[in-house]
Amino acid sequence: MIDYKFILENFPQISTKTRDHVITYLDSAATTLKPKAVVEAVDTYYLKECANVHRGIHTLSEISTDKYEKTRDLLKDYLGAEHREEIIFTKGTTESLNMVARTYGEENLKPGDEINISYMEHHSNIVPWQLLSERTGTVLKIMPINDQGEIILEEAFKLFTSKTKLVSVVFVSNSLGTINPVKEIINKAHEVGAVCLLDGAQATTHEKINVKELDCDFLALSAHKMFGPTGVGALYGKKVLLEKMPPFMGGGDMIDLVTFEKTTYNDLPYKFEAGTPNIAGVIGFGAAIEFINSIGLENIIAHEQELLEYGTKKLKEIKGLRLIGEAKHKASVLSFVIEGTHSHDIASFTTQDGLAIRTGHHCTQPLMKRMNVPATARASLSIYNTKEDIDKLYNSLMKMIDIFGL
């Protein structure tokens, strides 16, 4: 399904050498590698077509604006949104989540209202709600998870009451790979009159997303998890909600009319896009979406699932290694600990063999506490990985265990 020769041609970083080893990149949950088409799209903007977007009537501004807005249309179709105005460009998932907290949250939540999140949330889907609670007097409720890293729906749904006004949950866990049953969570949220926000950062290349079918109210995402540039992402929001929300920031492009007495605001989506945006990043984001479409998301998912199955089986052969997160429905993330070894030592050893894995709490400290580990080593897989990469990880870990006498 995947033409690996094509992948090698489009991801030159795969052939990069360090310490006499070709890099084996197993850190895609932190950020994916960027194909040539994305880099070229960014270079073309800066080298040949650089101009500010919107309002300009000269040729370069029109070219840049067309490409910038084309990405909005591409993302609308990719997510299955109904209106292009429902796509708001941001710096990424973190800003998108904070935007909802500061606009929808402050406008609609009052003291005593409850916000439900889960134990496996990234810090960016915990801290904004804590800050909101401090400002508004809302109460944070935590949906429990089991030892496999799955939300216990029966227990979680007991927390959904008439006081629940907002539910914010990760679609795919960055630390565990768990694919959460978000449709059921959304339905339950709506049943009690709450809105539901999905952290889609890790989901956008591991799951087919249709926001209309899911009926989610908001979804946050980042381009750099989708083979796109860093520092750019988007917030999807239902048009009816976005129209009622106040602006996130004030400045250029988000206004209709400014006087010293009163300012009126621009139409969607520009009401939420104050100032000169990351134009090159958004254009590169468009190239990334086109790249995914050219391969087929279903092919990417199938490839990753095959690697996940192989990697799970392979790592389980290692004595003393314990996988953290064994949900029935998982994306291509392998988090693990090895008895008698700190995760940072694992990374320090495996990097000598050219392996790029991530260690630490992965911005999910409450989850680490729940799983009773200080940190994990994490290998996260993508389209440019192969079974040979997993074999390299296996061999490096076995060598480490032999040398350390574990």
CATH number of the structural domain spanning residue 320: 3.90.1150.10
Which uninterrupted H or E stretch holds 139?
Answer: strand 139-143
Rounded to whole angstroms, the Cα distance separating 325 from 311 reads 13
Model pTM score: 0.95
Q: Which token pair is 255?
A: 């206004």
Predicted local distance difference test score (pLDDT) of residue 76: 98
- The amino acid sitting at 107 is E
Question: Which residue from 221, 243, 241, 219 is spatially nearest to 232, judged by alpha carbons?
Answer: 221
Q: In the prediction, which pLDDT does 2 show?
A: 81
- The structure tokens listed for 297 are 């998301």
For residue 36 the two structure tokens come to 């040539």
Name the β-bridge partners of 199: 170, 220
Q: Are residues 324 and 250 in the same domain?
A: no
pLDDT in tens, 240-255: 999 999 999 888 888 7
**pLDDT for residue 377:** 97
**pLDDT score recorded for residue 42:** 98
In this structure, which amino acid lies at residue 178?
A: T
Domain stop point among 293, 317, 342: 293
Based on the domain organization, do 306 and 287 belong to the same domain? no
> pLDDT tens digit string along 376-389?
999 999 999 999 99
Residues 77 and 162 in one domain: yes
Specify whether the CB–CB gap between 201 and 231 falls below 8 A: no
How would DSSP label each residue in 289-342?
A: HHHHHHH-HHHHHHHHHHHHHHHHHHHTTSTTEEES---SSB-SEEEEEETTB-
- Each residue's pLDDT tens digit, 147-196: 999 999 999 999 999 999 999 999 999 999 999 999 999 999 999 999 99
> In sequence order, what are the beta bridge partners of 341?
338
178 and 273 fall within a common domain: yes
End residue of a domain, out of 274, 293, 312: 293
308 Cβ contact list (under 8 Å, min separation 6): 177, 330, 331, 332, 333, 334, 381
For residues 283 and 301, membership in a common domain is answered with no
Residue 1 pLDDT greater than 80, yes or no:
no
Of the candidates 208, 392, 200, the one whose C-alpha atom is nearest the C-alpha of residue 300 is 208
Give the pLDDT score at 17.
81
Strands 24-25 and 355-356: parallel
304 and 272 within one domain = no
Predicted confidence (pLDDT) per residue in 36-74, tens digit: 999 999 999 999 999 999 988 899 999 999 999 999 999
Q: What is the longest distance spanned by two Cα atoms in the chain?
A: 74
Look at residues 157, 159, 168 and name the one whose alpha carbon lies nearest to residue 132: 168
Could you give the CA distance from residue 62 to residue 40 in angstroms, rounded to a whole number? 19
Task: Assign 359 a pLDDT band (cuts: 50, 70, 90).
Answer: very high
pLDDT of residue 379: 98
Please check whether residues 208 and 266 belong to one and the same domain: yes
134 with 234, same domain?
yes
Q: Which ranges of 85-181 does DSSP label H, i.e. alpha helix?
A: 93-100, 106-108, 127-136, 153-156
CA triple 221-227-229, angle to 5 deg: 75
Q: How far apart are CA 234 and CA 90, in angstroms?
A: 5
The angle subtended at Cα 22 by Cα 17 and Cα 26, nearest 5°, is 115
How far apart, in Å, are the Cα atoms of 316 and each of 254, 320, 354? 53, 9, 22
Matching residue, tokens 């907002």:
166
Nearest to 37 by CA among 295, 223, 284: 284
Helices marked H in 173-296: 182-191, 211-214, 239-244, 279-295
Our count of domains for the chain comes to 2
Does 353 lie in the same domain as 245? no
- For residue 213, give the CATH number of its domain: 3.40.640.10
- 61 and 127 co-located in one domain: yes
Last residue of a domain, one of 260, 293, 326: 293
Domain hosting residue 341, numbered range? 4-30+297-404
Domain match, 175 and 45 both? yes
**What pLDDT, on the 0 to 100 scale, is given for residue 254?**
82
Average pLDDT over residues 1-27: 87
Residue with tokens 């997510």: 79
Going by C-alpha positions, the residue among 352, 383, 349, 397 that lies closest to residue 23 is 352
Residues classed as catalytic: 363
Does 204 have pLDDT greater than 80? yes
Distance CA 77, CA 210 (A): 9
* pLDDT of 18 above 80: no
CB of 347 closer than 8 Å to CB of 359 = yes
Question: Taking 90 as the threshold, does the pLDDT of residue 26 lie above it?
Answer: yes
Say if residue 326 is in the same domain as residue 225. no
